[in-house]
Structure 1
Amino acid sequence: MPRIHVLEKQVAELIAAGEVVERPSAVIKELVENSVDAGATVITVEIRRGGVTYMRVTDNGCGISAEDVPVAFLRHATSKVSGQEDLDAIGTLGFRGEALASISAVSHVELFTRAEGQEVGVRYACGGDEEPLLTEAGCPQGTTIVVRDLFFNTPARMKFLKKDVTEGNSVAGILDKLAMSHPEISIRFIRDGREQLHSPGDNKLSSAVYAVCGKEFSSTLIPVDYLLGHVKVHGFISTPAGCRPNRSMQNFFINGRFIRSRTAMAALEEAYKGSVMAGKFPACVLHMQVACEAVDVNVHPAKLEVRFVNERPIFDAVYHGVRSALNAGDRPKIMELKKPSPYAPVLEKKEQLTLDKPGSSNQPLFLHDSGAQKPKEPELPKVIKQALDTVPKPVFKPNQPNLDTAPPQKAVPKPALVQESKLVMTQMPEPEKPPEEKPRQIVSDFSSRILGEAFGTYIIVEYSKDQLMFIDKHAAHERLLYERLKASRSGCEAQALLEPVTVNLDMEEYTAVIAHEQELSRAGFEVSDFGAGTVLVRTAPMLLDGQDAALAVMEIAGYLASFKTEITTEHMDWVYHNVACRAAIKAGDHTSRQELISLAVKLEHNPQVRYCPHGRPVYILLGRREIEKQFGRV
């Protein structure tokens, strides 16, 4: 039987370091968080080879006094927590007192620091099992920590590190989050001698987002500023059109700390429901301010996961804040037309076509002269010229007047067709024109003009003197019905079916439907248990035909069976989506002009309707200038 013994200090520190120091980015995270807690306004980070061989973090914070420097490298030594009661309201990024001890256990560390009010700084060197060295040194106020040869004494850990590029990207991600969490701090990141990030530190979140994410991303963001109870939410969210195929750009911060929160993520995506297409996810940079005692950050050594005393206020604040911002800041989609190339009929690919000539190699079809403004026209091959010469020339007939010389005569009807060569073809009698239909009187409260319908799907509206609007009639009708159902407190109006419809379901769907009879009743479906995985549908919403009732219940049952979200503000949303989609006008259906006008009027009176419940745009705008570009008018 093996004996129990106490591990040596060095072995215990190596084991403990594994919880804090996993890779170079973990080291950078701990060091820059200490700089933030020290009150720094400028932080510079430099790494080489992904941080494996060299890392340096410099700040202009308060510094460390000479007598406290050796103590700072002891395990569980910290200036941020002094008693048990402090753990109930942690307001700093660091508090465990394990970072410096863990880092020095697996690398060579060199520290330069000078505290405020001291004339001389100190240099402290340690690492592994080496004897620490403390000497005086001249240095500016603040702290500089240099970490070299990470995992030099734990080669097993070294084998699990990824390529230098991957480790460097991980460090960059940490600093991106820090720059957006603290826009009042200027963050400078130097990677292998090249500056990769430099945030301005002007205390403007928009500037930090611009520095981190770039112009294209930041130009499409919508500002959020919302207060609900004791929770404040501010930051930026992406437009529905700017949503991404994954959640990588969802950034949540709680009291200046980057976190991963399922509650905030669920609230964000719930607020976008009905505005984004399936498979797309919104992006955000959202800061949440709550009382420190309402959140517990002492959950994991990495401090990325937190627990809330009550998650409901967080969910509601994020949901309503994002929803309000979408309603106020989202704009309709503008159609942009690309100007066609003058060589589009000839150039089928991006590269120039070539023309084969007998006895010579391939030469470019268009030869550009450096001094010419326009390309030369291509010369036709000899064979084509001969073929064109054999075409008989058109001859004027004596009984047909020449339009260039003949005087105008009132009795002579206009020719049916005149070609560019000014030949007059055989005159055809003009068909009798049907009596012009007088334009119908548009509803007086509709400020636009309906031009017609295209492809049985899109309503064309002259929205203003400078814009055309194309409305997807199915998407518009679906969203209007959905909003009507959602606003009705009594739910959908139901109609009794002549004969109950039986719907066979699997056991999960069957159990879910029976458990949600009340919600289905609000949606207009009266469902009763028929046993053995079968339900009877006795009523259906007035908006639906009877034949759609069974299919609708099947889809709703499948949704309810897979419904995983525990926290949701609108539990009936998806059911209303289904009913509205089935009841709406379908693309290709014949629609009278009066119905088109009615739909356009309702859409104009509901400006917040911009997307169907599935996230597709209800309408897009085409500017007059874009059209005139195509005709060369501008």
Structure 2
Amino acid sequence: MADIIHLLPEHVANQIAAGEVVQRPSSVVKELLENAIDADATEIKLIVKDAGKTLVQVIDNGKGMSVTDARLSFERHATSKIKAAEDLFQLNTKGFRGEALASIAAIAHVELKTKQLHQDLGTAIEIEGSEVKSQDVSVTPTGTSVAVKNLFFNIPARRNFLKSDTVELRHVTDEFHRVALAHPNIAFNFYHNGSELFNLPKENYRQRVVHIFGPKTNEKLVPVEEQTEVLKISGFVGKPEFSKKTKSEQFFFVNQRFVKSPYLNHAVNAAYEGLLKDRYHPSYFLNLTVDPKTIDINIHPTKTEIKFDDEHTLYAIIRSSIKHSLGQFNIAPVLDFEQQSQFNTPYGYRHRQASTPKIEVDRNFNPFKDENSHTLGQRQSSFRQGPTAKWESLYVGLESKEGDNLSQHNSDEFTFETQSKTHSIFSDDAVETSKTTFQLQQKYIVSTLKSGMLIIDQNRAHQRILYENFLKHMTLKEATTQQLLFPLHLNVTPSEMKIIRDLKSDLEDTGFVFTDFSKIEVTVTGVPIGVPESEVSIIIEQLISDVENDVPEANFSATDLLAKSMAKSLAIKNGQPLNNAEQEHMVNSLFACKDPSVSPTNRPTFITMAIDDLEKRFM
């Protein structure tokens, strides 16, 4: 029988490795930025086109590579970071596997230009699908430039799995944030399709956080500093009142490497116990420094997961450090009694000696002795002090004439001030109708049918109603706007601003009015009818999150996504009580929709239970 086991060709092995290392353009961005940092660069420039699908280029002013190193860097498991297996437990660099460039070159067109400091000329290499096309001498600045073009050009199936440009750009931006936050001592520039998104100079950690997430972030930060034999913590956490519904501002860095750790994230949430609203998440930017021997970062190809030797100790230290910082800056509630000013000792009496109070007693007083009232009144008056002694005299001279005159008036002439009647949004006829619905657990609306019983999920039903209304307004462009008395100024990041600009026309069709756009601030002067002013920032934040995470492809439009997001934000929540008129209005509005059976996210809005099913339950 012929042998069936054989070695894979080199280019096939590289493509398989690429499937682990390079999942999308953001993976290329991460690997190239980390290589530039390992090359001791102080200035790094990231250039992206079409969210990285067409071009990802990283230019640095690092050490550069020699001719031999430049050629070897594209070989599998070629690295300068480790020489023996023991080095895996003393890692102080970003890359060490030697798979990144080889994997990238297997699935893209790569152009490398590099030059060392004391060399006159550098090296230029072009590779397509692991095949070296050319290698020449080049005139190039000191450092390295790596341009990755046409990602997944030879694997169409992988390219088809990429999301829209907005989603992919969000992933690229996230990777850029993670690297830039971990290294505030390095200057970064980020360009997308020719426009500058970020220009970050060398700065301290607080300035780097504020530069990335906007000036308003500064007032939200609470510093955290702690140093023990096991762990050193530095960074910032957000104040509870600025918590968000998304986890977009949560960063853990271990030895200047971004990591994801649900266990340590739970430690942060435990420190905020009792301070956050339900389903809200705190912001944190924490740098952890530990002994490299106590961690293992080689458990995942992307190196974002990590293992600790003693997680329980780290959990306790992180939790107590954040609690201490929140309490130190008067963020957390403390058991304290407010001292009233009247209890303080006046300055003039501070050094006086306390005097013993004297009690005067009338030793001749005998309540059983028969005395005339005149003598008794004199004795009692001797103990009365001050102007209140004859308080009865204040009422002398008051006659009952006015009271007599008042009683002669007819009581019908008086009018009494009462509370103004608050009119319901529904007509009186609707309120007086017979009760055909009732609310169950402030979550479901129960109504009767000819054949049985109808149970409606009030949140999903309201989402469907609002969704179709928003779609109608955006399609016909006939939405009504209510002007705000005072404009709202919303602070956003540059990437979020780009999303708002892209959706501006659709948002205006729903009733929003924008008057001013800057790099990090948008001014809202009008909102759709029925949208409370306090909900505007939450709606915009939820909309941006939905666009970043679930942008529709060719089957849907941005209008559809916008309608879904706004319906989800404005729909009444479970737990909100509804009166009988509101319940009936909800039922009637739901069944007036084109598709009342499902919510905008394709979940059932109601169920029915037939009489036969009820009768079977009693058998």
TM-score normalised by L of structure 1: 0.52
| Matches of 1:287 and 1:428, distance apart in 2 | 79
Whether the 8 Å CA contact 1:239–1:330 is kept in 2: the answer is no
Shift of 1:272: 1.0
1:48 positional shift: 0.6
Alignment match, 1:327: 327
Does residue 1:159 correspond to 2:143, yes or no?
no
What secondary structure, in the 3-state scheme, does the structure 2 residue paired with 1:219 have?
helix
Report Cα offsets for 1:248-288 as digits up to 9, x if no partner: 32110000000001231111111111222332221100000
2:279 corresponds to 1:279: yes
The residue correspondences of 1:303-452 to structure 2 (distance < 5 A) are 303-331=303-331
Pick which of 262-271 and 145-154 moved more: 262-271
Q: Is the 8 A contact 2:63 2:142 kept in 1?
A: yes
Residue 231 of structure 2 contacts residue 290 of structure 2 at CA under 8 Å; is this kept in 1?
A: yes
Deviations 1:456-490, CA, capped at 9 Å, x for gaps: xxxxxxxxxxxxxxxxxxxxxxxxxxxxxxxxxxx
Contact 2:55/2:150 (8 A) holds in 1: yes
Residue of structure 2 in register with 1:92 after alignment: 93
Aligned partners of 2:66, 2:228: CA distance in 1, in Å? 43
How far the C-alpha of 1:10 sits from its partner, in A, is 1.6
Distance 1:266 1:164 in 2: 33
**Retained in 2: the 8 A contact 1:232–1:317?**
no
> Which has more helix, going by share of residues?
2
Distance 2:219 2:180 in 1: 18
User: What is the deviation of 1:216?
Assistant: 2.2
* Aligned position for 1:181: 182
Give the Å deviation of 1:200.
1.8
Contact 1:199-1:207 within 8 A present in 2 as well:
no
Q: 2:152 touches 2:158 (CA, 8 Å); kept in 1?
A: yes
Distance in 2 of aligned mates of 1:256 and 1:428: 85
Residue matched to 2:32 = 31
Letter in 1 for 2:53: V
Spell out the pairing of 1:460-479 with structure 2 (5 A cutoff): none
Structure 1 residues 428 and 65: CA distance shift in structure 2, 3 A: farther
Aligned to 1:124: 125
1:244: which partner in 2? 244
Which amino acid letter does the alignment assign opposite residue 267 of structure 1? A
User: Which residue does 1:142 correspond to in 2?
Assistant: 143
For residues 271-311 of structure 1, the C-alpha deviation after alignment (integer angstroms, 9 at most, x for no partner) is 11122233222110000000111111101001000000111
Post-superposition Cα deviations, 1:135-165, rounded to whole Å, max 9, x if no partner, equal 1111111111111111111111111011112
Paired residue secondary structure (2:4):
coil
Deviation at 1:174, TM superposition (A): 0.4
1:316 Cα shift? Answer: 2.0
Mapped pair 1:57 → 2:58 = yes
Q: For structure 2, which runs of at least 5 residues remain unmatched after alignment?
A: 334-396, 408-619
Instruction: List gaps (5 residues or longer) in structure 1.
Output: 334-410, 417-425, 430-634
For 1:26, give the aligned amino acid: S
Q: Distance in 1 between matches of 2:77 and 2:66?
A: 18
Structure 2 partner of 1:73: 74
Deviation string, structure 1 residues 410-451 (Cα, Å, up to 9, x no partner): x999xx9xxxxxxxxx9969xxxxxxxxxxxxxxxxxxxxxx
In 1, distance between residues paired with 2:185 and 2:119? 26
1:129 deviation in Å?
4.9
In the other structure, the counterpart of 2:231 is 231
CA deviations 1:361-413 (Å, max 9, x no partner) are: xxxxxxxxxxxxxxxxxxxxxxxxxxxxxxxxxxxxxxxxxxxxxxxxxx999
The alpha-carbon distance between structure 1 residues 427 and 38, as it changes in their structure 2 partners (threshold 3 A), is farther
SS of the equivalent of 1:178 reads: helix
Corresponding position of 1:199: 200
Find the residue that maps to 1:150 and give its secondary structure. Answer: coil
Give the CA deviation at 1:132. 3.6
Q: Secondary structure at the match of 1:179?
A: helix
What is the rounded CA distance, in whole Å, between the counterparts of 2:406 and 2:224 in structure 1? 67
- Partner residue of 1:382? none
Instruction: Assess if the C-alpha contact under 8 Å between 1:263 and 1:314 holds in 2.
Output: no
Distance 1:222 1:283 in 2: 10
- Tell me which residue corresponds to 1:210: 210
Q: Deviations over 1:603-630 (max 9, x none)?
A: xxxxxxxxxxxxxxxxxxxxxxxxxxxx
One-letter amino acid matched to 1:201: K
SS at match of 1:131: strand
Contact 1:10–1:129 under 8 Å retained in 2: yes
1: CA distance between counterparts of 2:78 and 2:260? 27
Local SS of the residue matching 2:324: helix
Percent of aligned pairs with the same amino acid: 37
Matched with 1:486 is: none
Structure 2 residue identity aligned to 1:166? V
Aligned length: 340
| Greater CA drift, 121-130 or 139-148 | 121-130
Change in CA separation of 1:427 and 1:250 when aligned onto 2, cut-off 3 Å: farther
Tell me how far 1:55 sits from its aligned partner: 1.2
Structure 1 SS opposite 2:131: coil
Q: Aligned letter for 2:36?
A: S
Separation (CA, whole Å) in 2 of partners of 1:283 and 1:3? 55
Aligned residue for 2:173?
A: 172
Equivalents in 2 of 1:234, 1:42: separation in Å? 24
List per-residue Cα deviations over 1:537-578 (Å, max 9, x = no partner).
xxxxxxxxxxxxxxxxxxxxxxxxxxxxxxxxxxxxxxxxxx
Secondary structure of the equivalent of 1:187? strand
Aligned-partner residue type, residue 56 of structure 2: M
CA distance in 2, matches of 1:276, 1:11: 50
Separation in 2 of the partners of 1:427 and 1:45? 92
Are 1:13 and 2:14 counterparts? yes
Q: Deviations over 1:211-232 (max 9, x none)?
A: 1111223321101111122301
Change (3 A) 1:412 1:82: same
CA distance in 1, matches of 2:63, 2:276: 47
- The residue that corresponds to 1:559 in the other structure is none
Do the aligned residues in 2 keep the contact of 1:175 with 1:187 (CA within 8 Å)? no
- The secondary structure found in structure 2 opposite 1:207 is helix
Amino acid corresponding to residue 312 of structure 2 in structure 1: R
- 8 A Cα contact 2:122 2:137, kept in partner: yes
Residues 187-241 of structure 1, C-alpha deviations (whole Å, 9 max, x = no match): 1110111111122222x11111011111223321101111122301010001111
**Deviation per CA, 1:40-89, whole angstroms, max 9, x where unpaired?**
11111011111111111001111111221110100000000111110112
Out of 100-109 and 113-122, give the one that drifted further.
113-122
**Cα distance 1:428–1:248, how it changes in 2: closer, same or farther (>3 A)?**
farther
Give the deviation of 1:330 after TM superposition. Answer: 3.5
* Distance in 2, Cα, partners of 1:332 & 1:293: 35
Stretch moving more, 305-314 or 1-10: 1-10
